[in-house]
Each structure stands twice: as C-alpha cells, then as structure tokens.
Structure 1
Amino acid sequence: MYGWIWRRLPGSRALKVVQALVLVLAVVALLLFVVFPWVEPMLPFNQVTTG
C-alpha cells in the first residue's frame, strides 16, 4: 500500500517526501481531533471498579 501511495505522488523524491509527511500529519490530526474524541465516550476507562 505504501508503494502504491509513493508511486501516485507527483514530483521528485524530495517533493514526494514532503507530500508523504503532510499526508501522515493529516491522518494523525484526523485521528486526534475527530476519531478519538468520537470513540472516547464509548470506552470503559471511567468505569473502574475494585473489589
């Protein structure tokens, strides 16, 4: 899959590296600001019981 993405990015090697870095940062931002806050209320971390 990474090879497919690398081949699809336009430009020279340096430009591809920058574009790949931007893609990685975009995915991380999407996870941190959209996906994780949406999933967090569904996780049982606040329901800790000791018995």
Structure 2
Amino acid sequence: MYAALWRILPGPVWLRIIIVLILVAAVLFALVTWVFPWVDSLVGPQEGTVGP
C-alpha cells in the first residue's frame, strides 16, 4: 500500500518526502482538532478523586 502511494506522488524523491511530511502534519492536525475531541465526547469524562 505504501509503495503504491509513493508511486502516485509526483516529482523527485526530495519533493515526495516534503509532500509526505505535509500530509502527515495535516492528518495529525485533523486528528487533534476534530477526531480526538469527538471521541472524548463519546467516551465521557472520567471522575477520579484522590482522598481518604
């Protein structure tokens, strides 16, 4: 799968590496911005207390 994606990307190797880094950063940004908060709202907050 990764080899097929690598072949689809245009340009020389250095440009492909830059494109992959930008894509990884975009995916991580989307996860942190939308996916993780949505999952957190589904799971619900954990009530944890420390004390006797």
Q: Which has the higher helix share?
A: 1
Structure 2, unaligned runs of 5 or more: none
Report sequence identity in percent.
40
**Cross-structure match for 2:29:** 29
CA–CA distance in structure 1, aligned partners of residues 28 and 2 of structure 2: 16
Larger RCO: Structure 1 or Structure 2 (Cα < 8 Å, ≥ 6 residues apart)?
Answer: 1
Deviation at residue 4 of structure 1 after TM alignment: 1.2
**Cross-structure match for 2:19:** 19
Structure 1, unaligned runs of 5 or more: none
Alignment coverage as a number of residue pairs: 49
Question: TM-score, normalised to structure 1's length?
Answer: 0.81
Query: SS where residue 4 of structure 2 aligns?
Result: helix
